[in-house]
Amino acid sequence: MDISLGSIRGIGPARLRAFQAAGIESVRDLVMFLPKDYRDLSAFTPLSEVRPGDTAAVRVRVAGEPSQRRARKLVITKVYVTDDTETMAVVWYNQPWLKEQLAPGRELLLYGRCEARGASIQFTSPAIEREAGLLPVYRAIPGIPAKALRQSVEAALKVCEGQWSDELPEALRRRHGLCERNFAMRNAHFPDSREALEAARRRIAFEELLLYQVALSLHRGRNEPGVRIDFSDDQIEAFWRALPFAPTAAQRRVLDETARDMRGPWAMARMVQGDVGSGKTVVAFGAMYLAWAGGYQSALMAPTEVLARQHYEGARALLEPLGMKIGLLTGSLTPKQHRLAHEAVASGAWDAIIGTHALITEGVEYKNLGLAVTDEQHRFGVRQRTTLGRKGDAPNVLVMSATPIPRTLSLILYGDLDISIIDELPPGRKGVRTRIVPEDKRQDMYGFLRSEVRAGRQIYVVCPLVEESEAVDARPAEQVYEDLRTRDLPDLRIELVHGRMKPADKEAVLERFHRGEADVLVSTTVIEVGVNVPNASVMVVENAERFGLAQLHQLRGRVGRGSDEAWCFLMAEPNDRLKFLCSTADGFKIAQKDMELRGPGDLFGTRQSGTIAFGVGTMAGDTQLLKAVHDEARALLKDAQSPDSQTVIRLAEQAYLQKFREAAAN
């Protein structure tokens, strides 16, 4: 199967170069390029039942002459279609040739997303399909049209038909009811039925996740010697007594688990998961205090300078009275400040160093790093946390994440980490009251915002876009900012921040809001992580239907951090997804629901090296499968010398181990 792609009909020199640029060199590689999704053209939705936000397949006929116009750099083709239950507009962008295919009366199979346009609904850039059934959708490869890619995969499958050797041990396949590999490969691309597709997906996902889990365990080595830090139980209690509030039982439990690892002979590799506001940072500060008590330095790396500065101020307030010296190292320091900071780190004058990626730059040398902490794990890949960990002699590593991930999936994605979960909120922390606000209630909401500001509180307004887009029906941040500043709330101090701004300008706006010099901050999701403004009491999310549940939960976690009652207003028409968010504040339930609806892609920012996109993407909601994979991997490694275990270990090493080692070396 390591046959050249050039032997496949329809793959000429230009397409061959495009495939190679995407890392696809052989027929085997092309067959392993699995679909990211499927278009279900086996059942059609009547137009009268289509709702905004739906992705639907419809069988329609063209109801009139198509029109075409130019707007900015776009060519917009529009036509009306009908199926006798309803008539609806269809719009395509920058596909002018389609006009010739839209003769009145012609029947079409359309598959795409419906969006609200004022009081009506339209299909936006749907695909025109030629056949019914379950059709594969592949990740786009530049230079290869989607139809040509599908045809190339089909041709490659015919070349490989019956040639896949099934290397998973037969007893393992029987134990978990896994189908044969040739059947799985064929039906993963072009399924005979929905049942065949599910069997194929389960087989491929199980194998992929199992090999990934085994390789992660082998990569970690499970028993790597590391920095052993000695401290007493009395010192743990001394830290808790220094807090201005009583810790929760969950915080105590997680710090105890962390302390046990730090005292052990093996390098700690632990993730602390907790919902927004659960107090993960306090646990991290406790671990840093224990490292100092045992005679070692610690470092905490945050994804943004604003968050790093907030951690720095918090650490100084809590840890310096206990005798520690806290330092800050970020990219915005002057050359002289950088030099002095590097000297303080190298000499040991700073006991704990808090910063951004500046902590892992080449010139930073630690005197005796015993603990490396990374905040917001989903913003860092294996490489960044490994680089920080290599700044010392195998220091203990603690990673924190406020992105809730169901425990079973965590065991797969972070198989190289032990996991602690802070599963309760501190007493007195108020929940955020979440409401769906339709467009006709917008002005009433603005009146409420004005009253909140008069009471001395601050507001976030989050938008899905920076600027206007013809292709997406959503209110952009720039437009919302102008409307609020000039029309809706002209008497308030309003600022705008988004990801396209220069980092220094963005940091300056966030800092002004943090200091209370602005009443309303209009933003994109740049504020999703790392802004702690206890005075902010309201989060408004424009076009809330365009965000995932987990992301909306993260956003509303930006408010309710002080003693005031907090609100989150979702600007959208009510739907079941948003109603679910209003009904619960449990981030883990929300994360599970989000993955069942959307897959896990939106939950993880920088993916770990050796991505397992197909396995996780297809089976993220199947907790039974994930648990079975985890248990099987542990059982195989426990009996590592058995023939079946040796087979799986060999396959895991071939598939992933080298990738992990390369990532750690770079």
Instruction: Tell me the CA distances in angstroms from 288 to 244, 420, 536, one per residue in order.
Output: 18, 17, 29
The pLDDT, as a whole number, for residue 660 is 66
**Cβ atoms 215, 663 nearer than 8 A:** no
| Domain regions of the chain by residue span | 1-36+147-163, 43-129, 233-264+279-401, 432-584
Bigger pLDDT: 273 vs 462: 462
Min mean pLDDT across 122-136, 216-230, 440-454, 638-652 is at 216-230
Highest mean pLDDT out of 341-355, 523-537, 581-595, 618-632:
341-355
Which residue did the predictor score with more confidence, 285 or 3?
285
pLDDT higher than 90, residue 458: yes
Q: Estimate to the nearest angstrom the gap between the alpha carbon of 249 and the chain centroid.
A: 29
- Span of 26-40, 205-219, 257-271, 599-613 with lowest mean pLDDT: 599-613
Residue count of the chain: 666
pLDDT tens digits for range 605-630 = 333 333 444 555 555 556 677 778 87
Q: Name the pLDDT band for 586 (thresholds 50, 70, 90).
A: confident
Which neighbouring-strand residues pair with 4? 26
CB 539 within 8 A of CB 556: yes
User: What percent of the chain has pLDDT above 70?
Assistant: 86
- Contact (CB, 8 A) for 549 and 575: no
β-pairing, 396-401 vs 269-274, is: parallel
At 522, give phi and psi (nearest 5°): -90, 130
Please give the CATH architecture assigned to the domain spanning 432-584: 3-Layer(aba) Sandwich (3.40)
The better pLDDT of the pair 407, 395 is held by 395
CA dihedral for 93, 95, 100, 104, sign (positive or negative): negative
Instruction: Check residue 604 and give its pLDDT.
Output: 36
Q: How far apart are CA 409 and CA 213, in angstroms?
A: 11
Whether 636 shows a pLDDT value over 60: the answer reads: yes
Range with top average pLDDT, 146-150, 375-379, 532-536 = 146-150
Confidence of residue 232 (pLDDT cuts 50, 70, 90): very high
pLDDT, average across residues 593-608: 50
657 versus 306: which is more confidently predicted? 306
The neighbouring-strand residues paired with 129 are 109
For the segment 18-38, the average pLDDT, to the nearest whole number, is: 88
* CATH superfamily assigned to domain 43-129: Nucleic acid-binding proteins (2.40.50.140)
CA–CA dist 555, 391 (Å, integer): 33
Predicted pLDDT at 395: 87
For residue 157, give the amino acid letter: L
Q: Is the pLDDT of residue 236 over 90?
A: yes
pLDDT(468) > 70:
no
Residue 401: its pLDDT value, please? 78
375 has a pLDDT exceeding 90: no
- Can you state the angle between helices 305-319 and 280-293, rounded to 10 degrees? 60
**Any idea what the Cα angle at residue 411 is, between residues 624 and 224, rounded to 5°?**
145
Q: What is the model's pLDDT at position 376?
A: 65
Amino acid occupying residue 572: A
What is the average per-residue pLDDT within 470-498?
Answer: 84
How is domain 233-264+279-401 classified at the CATH fold level? Rossmann fold (3.40.50)
pLDDT of residue 528: 52
The HSE-up count of residue 411 (CA atoms within 13 Å, CB side) is 16
- When mean pLDDT is compared across 298-307, 382-391, 431-440, the lowest value belongs to 382-391
**What does the DSSP 8-state code read for residue 26?**
B
3-state secondary structure 491-554: CCCEEEECCCCCHHHHHHHHHHHHCCCCCEEEECHHHCCCCCCCCEEEEEECCHHHCCHHHHHH
The predicted structure's pLDDT at residue 560: 82
What is the average pLDDT across 347-376? 88
Is residue 655 over pLDDT 90? no
Higher per-residue pLDDT: 498 or 386: 498
The mean pLDDT value for 37-57 works out to 87
The tokens 């092309």 sit on which residue? Answer: 30
pLDDT of residue 606: 32
Mean pLDDT of the chain: 84
Q: CA torsion angle for 113, 117, 121, 127 (degrees, to 10)? A: -30
88, β-bridge pairs = 81
Which H, E and C letters describe 448-479, residue by residue? HHHHHHHCCCEEEEECCCCCCCCCCCCCCHHH
Q: Given pLDDT bands bounded at 50, 70 and 90, which one contains residue 90?
A: very high
Q: Which of 118-122, 337-341, 589-593 has the least mean pLDDT?
A: 589-593
592: pLDDT strictly greater than 80: no
Please check the confidence at residue 425 and state whether its pLDDT lies above 80.
no
pLDDT computed for residue 602 by the predictor: 39
| Opening angle at CA 249, ends 244 and 255, nearest 5 | 80
Q: Is-same-fold flag (43-129; 233-264+279-401)?
A: no
Query: Residue 417: beta bridge partners?
Result: none
CB 617 within 8 A of CB 601: yes
Question: What is the average per-residue pLDDT within 393-420?
Answer: 71
Cα–Cα distance, 351 to 385 (Å, whole number): 20
Q: Is residue 489 very low, low, confident or very high in pLDDT (cuts 50, 70, 90)?
A: very high
pTM for the predicted model, two decimal places:
0.63
Rounded CA-CA distance 60/44 in Å is 10
What are the beta bridge partners of residue 76?
A: 69, 93
